[in-house]
Amino acid sequence: MTPPTGGVPMPAPDKEPLIRMDGIHKWFGNNHVLRGVDLALEPGEVQVIIGPSGGGKSTLLRCANMLERPTLGSVWFESQDITDIRTDLNAVRTRMGMVFQQFNLFPHMTAISNITIALEKVLKLDDGEAKHRAMEQLRHVGLEQKADAYPGALSGGQQQRVAIARALAMKPTLMLFDEVTSALDPELVGEVLAVMRQLADEGMTMMVVTHEMGFAREVGTWMVFVDGGVIAERGRPKEMFANPESDRLRQFFSKVL
């Protein structure tokens, strides 16, 4: 039933992975965007996903928390098949934070309300506890003094840090980052990457789609090169940067480095 998996096969994991994606295929109409992708991530690891635009990186990430439902294949998260139709995805998503390229803060709410809304309505925390937790996260990203500012009054970098704080406040076990610095002015990229680097140092498990090659090399535990809907190459970031095996990756590096 399952079509053959393309690309480089995944090595057998040592431990029980936090998230495992098995033979993921995704069609948008007739467009076969993901053509059999396997990915597994153990707690504390940072999986960097690079590749040319249109190659399926973002779709792969969005399949992880089922914003896109895979047409074929399964996603196992915390030892549970979340592609099973009976899964309570809302409960799953509280444990899987996501940060978007366009920030997607709620423009009609202050920074702190952006964070407390889900704490109160989804996790059912009381007002005081939600505020306390939100301030804690704002402090974490260095924006406690902007708690009462509306997103429109914040810079892109500040908005993205609030978005990260919003996701972190749910106390997720996995964080998904979808090209979070791509919409930022160059001088604002650093502050967001610094927050992500700190998060990785603290042991957060992360899947990061990015075009920031320096970040990928230094922070990534694993790196995959996604091209044409398959994982064309996988390995340790430093080795892949030093000795790219495939021509496609070499070509990609020659364009972006």
Partner 1 sequence: MSVAETERVIVVEPPPDTRGPSSPISATALWLGIAAITAVLGGTLLLQVNYAVSDRVLTPGCVELRLTPDITGALNVCNMVDALRSSAQTLLLYGGIALGIAAMVLGWGIAKRMDSFRRREQAVTGAILGVQAVVIALVILAFRNGRPDLFAKNFLNFTVLGEYFPGPFFAAMKNTIVLAFVGEAGGVLVGLFLALLALSKRKAARAPARAYINFFRGTPLIWQLLTAYFVLLLGFGIVPSSLLVAMGVFALNTGAYAAEVFRAGIQSIERGQMEAARSLGMTYLQAMRFAIVPQAVRRVIPPLMNEFVILIKDTALIIVLGLLASQYELFQWARGGQSDTFNATFFTATALGYLAVTLPLIRLVNAVEKRLQSGLVGIAGAGG
Q: What angle do CA 134, 140, 144 make, to 5 degrees?
A: 60
**Residue 183 contacts partner 1 per CB under 8 A:** no
Beta bridge partners of 72: 25
CA dist 136 and 130 (Å) reads 10
User: Are 211 and 179 in contact, with CB atoms under 8 Å apart?
Assistant: yes
Q: Is 151 left (phi over 0), alpha (psi -120 to 50) or beta?
A: alpha
**Residue 28 contacts partner 1 per CB under 8 A:** no
- From the list 32-40, 139-147, 163-171, 249-257, the region that binds partner 1 by CB under 8 A is 163-171
- From the list 18-26, 31-39, 102-110, 198-206, the region that binds partner 1 by CB under 8 A is 102-110
**Residue 253 contacts partner 1 per CB under 8 A:** no
**Residue 129 contacts partner 1 per CB under 8 A:** no
Cβ atoms within 10 Å, residue 228: 17
What's the closest the beta carbon of residue 137 comes to partner 1, in angstroms? 13
User: Are 239 and 78 in contact, with CB atoms under 8 Å apart?
Assistant: no
**Residue 79 contacts partner 1 per CB under 8 A:** no
Q: Token pair of 163, please?
A: 């978005």
**Residue 184 contacts partner 1 per CB under 8 A:** no
**Residue 150 contacts partner 1 per CB under 8 A:** yes
In the chain, the DSSP E strands lie at 19-28, 31-41, 46-50, 72-77, 80-81, 96-99, 174-178, 205-209, 222-227, 230-235
- Binder among 4, 29, 152, 186 for partner 1 (CB under 8 A): 152
What's the closest the beta carbon of residue 4 comes to partner 1, in angstroms? 31
**Residue 237 contacts partner 1 per CB under 8 A:** no
What's the closest the beta carbon of residue 54 comes to partner 1, in angstroms? 19
**Residue 182 contacts partner 1 per CB under 8 A:** no
Q: Which stretches of the chain bind partner 1, using CB under 8 A?
A: 65, 67, 90-91, 93-94, 96-98, 100, 102, 104-110, 117-118, 121-123, 150, 152-153, 163, 166-167, 170
